[in-house]
């Protein structure tokens, strides 16, 4: 599994945007003190805040994040996650285990997994997230 990346509710939007840029992720889960996913902040949210003229250093992700995020469990198949991404035009899906954030899957993560030479090892099996997507 790749390193889990997230932001807290007190993270200002400028810092979240820098985290997008430095990690190459299009968005990040917003987690509470219990590591439960409470929202997602994406490049689209940041661009909207910029368009509104908000001070990105003074507002937190809590103000601009998308609430009630779609999440997947560790046992969700890659095909099901792909379906979630495509049907909803999402850029990322947070992954949880027992309601706790454990990682995320992005469109790029899935494409990387499918294009990887090791993918052929899993092609004939049911692919679940811990092995190929996270």
Confidence of residue 119 (pLDDT cuts 50, 70, 90): low
What is the percent of the chain with per-residue pLDDT over 90, rounded to a whole number? 71
What is the assigned CATH class of domain 7-132? Answer: alpha beta
* pLDDT: which is higher, 111 or 65: 65
Tell me the domain boundaries of the chain: 7-132
User: By three-state DSSP, how is residue 116 classified?
Assistant: coil
pLDDT (0 to 100) of residue 1: 39
**pLDDT, averaged across the chain:** 87
Contact of 36 with 99, CB cutoff 8 Å? yes
**Cα–Cα dist 116/11, whole Å:** 34
59 HSE (CA, 13 A, CB side): 18
């Amino acid at each position: 599994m790749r390193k889990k990346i997230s932001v807290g509710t007190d993270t200002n939007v400028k810092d979240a945007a820098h985290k997008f840029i430095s990690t190459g992720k299009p968005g990040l889960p917003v987690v509470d003190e219990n590591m439960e996913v409470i929202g997602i902040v994406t490049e689209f949210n940041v661009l909207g805040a910029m368009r509104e003229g908000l001070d990105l250093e003074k507002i937190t992700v809590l103000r601009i994040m998308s609430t009630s995020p779609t999440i997947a469990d560790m046992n969700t198949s890659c095909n099901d996650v792909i379906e979630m991404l495509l049907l909803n035009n999402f850029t990322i899906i947070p992954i949880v285990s027992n309601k706790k954030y454990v990682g995320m899957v992005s469109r790029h993560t899935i494409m990387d997994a499918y294009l990887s030479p090791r993918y052929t090892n899993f092609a004939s099996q049911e692919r679940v997230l811990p092995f190929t997507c996270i």
